[in-house]
Amino acid sequence: MRAGRGRSAFALLLCLTAIASAGCGGEQADSELASEGAAAYEIELPEGWTEASADQLGALQGTVEAETNELAEGEFPEFGVTAVYFAPGDAAAAFRPNINVVVEPVPEEVGEEQFFDLLVSNLERLLPGVRLEGAPETTSLDGAAAIRGRYQQVQGEMAFYQEYFSAIHEGRAYTLTLTADSAEERDALGEGFDEILGSWSWTG
């Protein structure tokens, strides 16, 4: 695994908007585990869900930072968008509902509560067209402190409905974002999101 590139704290929130507009059609590699254990966790994907290949993940990284678009075969990034899981559906569609995982280091001087507060405030401040749907709830992920909330985002003529879940483990923040193109679809995919979170196990 290559070393992660240094980035400013909370800047990776910008990855979320890149993923929201990415269709990523084509075939995906079937997998029940997080890629290569790159992000120090394992999950089980619900039936019909698929994981982005290394090439697809490299292309998504490239929408945020061009030099990260070159990934060796089978290699996955340590920071940034580390995984994307596609909901069941047409692989050739222009947009596919998905869950993306963004990993970023949490500075030692930033506490968990402060990080979560900044993450939520930056959703509206840094991402264009975002409207939060109330305050996030406090929860946990395999013993790690976490928050969960929802927001809507308008990009041009397209509207996206998203649910985020962010946890801090061993000095890193793991933010999962479910993105759908309607509120009804987001609700329908909530069961799959819950299954993924329920199967989450830290490995490092």
Q: How far apart are the C-alpha atoms of 100 and 51, rounded to whole Å?
A: 10
**Do 164 and 177 meet the contact criterion of CB atoms below 8 Å apart?**
yes
Give the tens place of pLDDT for each residue, 42-78.
999 999 999 988 777 766 665 544 444 444 444 555 6
Q: What pLDDT is recorded for position 13?
A: 47
**Do 48 and 31 meet the contact criterion of CB atoms below 8 Å apart?**
no
3-state secondary structure of 202: strand
Domain 11-202 has CATH 3.40.1000.10: yes
List of the chain residues with pLDDT < 70: 1-39, 58-79
Q: What pLDDT is recorded for position 76?
A: 52
Q: How far apart are the C-alpha atoms of 41 and 200, rounded to whole Å?
A: 7
DSSP E strand boundaries for 26-143? 41-42, 50-51, 80-86, 98-105, 130-132, 137-141
Domain boundaries, the chain: 11-202
Half-sphere exposure of 111 (CA within 13 A, CB side): 2
Which tokens belong to 43?
Answer: 């999950």
Q: What pLDDT is recorded for position 136?
A: 97
